[in-house]
Amino acid sequence: MKKLLIALLATASSTSLWAMDANDQQRLSDIQQQWAKIQYETPEGKRADAFEQLAAKANAFSKERPATAEAWIWSGIVTSSWAGAQGGLGALGKVKEARSDLEKALSIDPTALQGSAYASLAALYDRVPGWPVGFGDSDKADTLLKQALKINPNGIDNLYFWGDHLYRQKHYAEAKAALLKAQQAPARPDRESADKGRHKDIQALLVDVDKKLN
């Protein structure tokens, strides 16, 4: 199976963080910052091991705070990223774990972190191989992304993954519009590394989109 390319959301902080105490908020922020460093600054060959270590922290957070949707979201994101860095059939088990974590988050609070569980789950459905190898489903991804955009229509991650989805569906003009809008998304407090990396993702995808349009 071709290597999974799952670069999941570097999600913005949201108003739902009021439910967590200061220690939990710091713990979440640390996971987010470490994710961005691994995803965008760590050499590709070293990412799997780094994500494995971070996944242990994120999973522990979700288990210790089982009623906190944000913890489950980031457990899913980190586990998915670990699977993407590992690649191969062996990553499918991790992807299924990530899907379960994100579904758990949605069952607790679908609006947590501005609906990022929807977009993170959509990214899985868009990138994982379909049946009989995996559970990939572009129609499911489409539905989930529309839910994410209802909650946060101007977020950089939601717009990037929407543009990527449209590109995969060969709707190139619509994809370009979404990506250009993503470039104008407001900066996220304390997420400079994640924003910088996502803008690089957007620019790279725009190059591919323009090749199709021209």
In a structure prediction context, what are the per-residue pLDDT tens digits for the chain, which is 214 residues long? 434 434 444 443 333 444 688 999 999 999 999 999 999 999 999 999 999 999 999 999 999 999 999 999 999 999 999 999 998 878 999 999 999 999 999 999 999 999 999 999 999 999 999 988 889 999 999 999 999 999 999 999 999 999 999 999 999 999 999 999 999 999 998 899 999 999 999 999 999 999 999 9
- The domain ranges of the chain are 15-152
Quickly list H helices, 87-171.
Answer: 92-108, 116-127, 138-151, 156-168
pLDDT at residue 190, rounded to an integer: 86
Tokens read off for 47: 């990412």
pLDDT at residue 100, rounded to an integer: 98
Q: How far is CA 62 from the centre of its chain?
A: 17
CATH class belonging to 15-152: mainly alpha
pLDDT at residue 7, rounded to an integer: 44
pLDDT at residue 80, rounded to an integer: 97
**pTM above 0.85?**
yes
